[in-house]
Amino acid sequence: MTNVISLPARKASHTPAITTTPDLGNIERQQAIENALSTALYFIRQPHSDKSLQAATGRAIRAASMGSATFVL
């Protein structure tokens, strides 16, 4: 015989749903970061040269510097 345990039913929350709109500044920053990373990948895929490696490194550093403020709590 199986014992069945009844759990209390969930109560409806009286907290209204919170809707947030994204901050345009954050969206623009994310787009700039993604663009910098995409450009870095473009330069990495080019035939090997010091100039393309420097350009890729610069774009990656730029993306990292823009993204560092995003994750600070």
Digitized pLDDT (tens) for each residue of the chain, 73 residues in all: 677 777 777 666 555 555 566 677 888 999 999 999 999 999 999 998 999 999 999 999 999 998 876 544 4
Give the model's pLDDT for residue 40.
95
Neighbours of 35 (CB within 10 A): 14
Tell me which residue of 57, 33, 31, 32 sits closest to 44, measured CA to CA. Answer: 57
**Global pTM?**
0.60
Whole-number Å distance between alpha carbons of 33 and 35: 5
Neighbours of 63 (CB within 10 A): 19
